[in-house]
C-alpha cells in the first residue's frame, strides 16, 4: 500500500512505474489530503490505473458523533478487518486516537480491545489513514492541518507492533506529510521493556505513557498478564532511560478500580514508587466493561486520590471522560460492525 511509503519511497515507486518525477509530489499530496483515488483531479486516468492496486482503500462502516463532539469511526480495511478511531476536540485543537493492531494479545482484564485476541498488526499506512481521514473530514489542507495531536491509545499494543509503529511515527511527523511534531504524539504501552529502550535508541521523542494501573507487581498481575513478564522496577528503569535520552516527562495511566487499587495503602505505595521521577499520573476511573466484573472508582474519590498524590509530591489529574455515550471512552473501543475484533 502506498501509504506505507515515505515521500522518498513514493518518488522511487513513481520512477519504477516509468512516470515523471512531478507525479510523485502530486500523488503524495493527494495521499496526505486523505483523498480517495476518484477524488484526485490532477492525475491522468492511465496513471491512476497503474497505482489503483496500491492505493489505500477503506470504508467507513460506522460513524458516531457524541454530545461532546467526540467522534468515533469504524473503518473497514481492505481485508475486511474493522478498526476504530476516535477524534477528540480540545481547546487547542483536535486529537486523533489511533488503533495500532486489529485486536490485542495483551489480555488486560479490564480492556475491551483484547477480548478476542489479536487478529493482525496494522501497517504504518493503516495507522496513518485514521488520522488522514479525520483531517480531511475537518477540512484540513496542506498548509493548515486540523489534527494537531495524536495518541496511540486505541486498540492494540503499539510496542507489540514496533516496526510498523516506528514507521508510522516517521511518516506522521515528516515534513513532507502532516508534519505533526513528536512532542504532540503520545504512545501508550502496557510496558514492553525491550521496546521502550529501542524507542529511545531509535531516536524517537514522543511522550511515553505507561499503563501502570497498580503500585506493585502482585496487584498488577491480577489484571495485567504482562506483569508476569516485566516487573514494575524494570519498566521504571526503562522509563528513566527514555527520560534521560529524550528529556520527555513520562505519563503513567492508572485506571482506578474500586477496592482493588484505589485504597490509601495502594495510593501511598504508588507515590513511593514514582517518587523523584519527572512524571505525571493520569487517573482514569475504570470504565466498567460488562464482560469483566471490575467496577470503576467514582469520580469524586478519583479527585481525592489526585489530591492525595499531589500532597505526596506526585503530579496527578483525573482524566476527563469524553465520548462516553458513543463508547469512545478509554478502553471502550470495540466493534459492533460485522466483525468481532477491535
Would you tell me which residues interact with ligand SAH (CB under 6 A)? 106, 108, 110-111, 153, 157, 188-190, 211, 253, 255, 284, 286-287, 289, 330-331
CB of 288 to ligand SAH, least distance (A): 7
Q: Which of 19, 84, 157, 339 is catalytic?
A: 84
**Residue 190 annotated in active site:** no
CB of 189 to ligand SAH, least distance (A): 5
Q: Which residue is nearest to ligand SAH (CB)?
A: 331
CB of 228 to ligand SAH, least distance (A): 15
Whole-angstrom distance, CA of residue 286 vs CA of residue 305: 14
Q: Nearer Cβ to ligand SAH, position 58 or 110? A: 110
Q: Nearer Cβ to ligand SAH, position 110 or 134? A: 110
Q: Which of 19, 104, 330, 339 is catalytic?
A: 330
CB of 101 to ligand SAH, least distance (A): 9
Q: Nearer Cβ to ligand SAH, position 10 or 257? A: 257
**Residue 111 annotated in active site:** no
Q: Nearer Cβ to ligand SAH, position 140 or 302? A: 302
Enumerate the active-site residues.
84, 330
Amino acid at each position: 500500500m502506498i501509504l506505507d511509503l515515505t515521500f522518498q519511497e513514493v518518488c522511487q515507486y513513481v520512477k519504477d512505474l516509468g512516470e515523471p518525477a512531478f507525479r510523485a509530489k502530486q500523488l503524495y499530496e493527494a495521499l496526505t489530503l486523505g483523498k480517495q483515488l476518484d477524488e484526485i483531479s490532477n492525475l491522468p486516468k492511465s496513471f491512476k490505473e497503474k497505482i489503483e492496486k496500491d492505493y489505500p482503500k477503506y470504508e467507513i462502516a460506522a460513524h458516531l458523533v457524541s454530545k461532546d463532539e467526540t467522534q468515533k469511526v469504524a473503518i473497514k480495511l481492505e481485508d475486511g478487518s474493522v478498526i476504530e478511531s476516535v477524534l477528540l476536540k480540545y481547546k487547542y485543537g483536535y486529537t486523533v486516537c489511533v488503533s495500532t493492531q486489529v485486536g490485542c494479545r495483551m489480555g488486560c482484564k479490564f480492556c475491551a480491545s483484547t477480548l478476542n485476541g489479536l487478529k493482525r498488526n496494522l501497517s504504518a499506512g493503516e495507522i496513518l489513514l485514521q488520522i488522514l481521514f479525520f483531517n480531511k473530514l475537518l477540512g484540513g489542507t496542506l498548509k493548515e492541518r486540523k489534527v494537531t495531536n495524536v495518541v496511540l491509545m486505541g486498540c492494540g499494543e503499539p510496542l507489540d507492533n514496533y516496526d510498523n509503529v516506528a514507521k508510522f511515527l516517521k511518516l506522521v511527523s515528516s515534513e513532507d506529510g502532516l508534519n505533526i511534531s513528536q512532542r504532540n504524539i503520545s504512545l501508550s504501552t502496557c510496558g514492553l521493556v525491550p521496546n521502550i529502550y529501542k524507542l529511545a535508541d531509535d531516536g524517537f521523542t514522543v511522550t511515553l505513557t505507561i499503563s501502570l494501573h497498580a503500585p506493585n507487581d502482585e496487584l498488577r498481575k491480577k489484571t495485567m498478564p504482562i506483569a508476569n513478564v516485566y516487573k514494575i522496577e524494570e519498566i521504571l528503569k526503562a522509563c528513566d532511560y527514555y527520560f534521560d535520552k529524550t528529556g520527555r516527562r513520562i505519563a503513567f495511566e492508572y485506571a482506578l478500580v474500586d477496592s482493588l487499587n484505589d485504597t490509601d495503602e495502594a495510593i501511598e505505595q504508588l507515590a513511593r514508587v514514582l517518587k523523584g521521577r519527572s512524571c505525571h499520573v493520569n487517573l482514569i476511573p475504570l470504565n466498567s466493561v460488562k464482560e469483566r466484573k471490575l467496577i470503576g472508582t467514582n469520580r469524586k474519590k478519583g479527585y481525592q486520590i489526585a489530591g492525595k498524590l499531589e500532597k505526596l509530591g506526585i503530579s496527578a489529574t483525573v482524566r476527563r471522560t469524553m465520548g462516553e455515550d458513543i463508547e469512545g471512552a478509554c478502553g471502550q473501543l470495540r466493534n459492533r460492525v460485522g466483525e468481532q475484533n477491535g
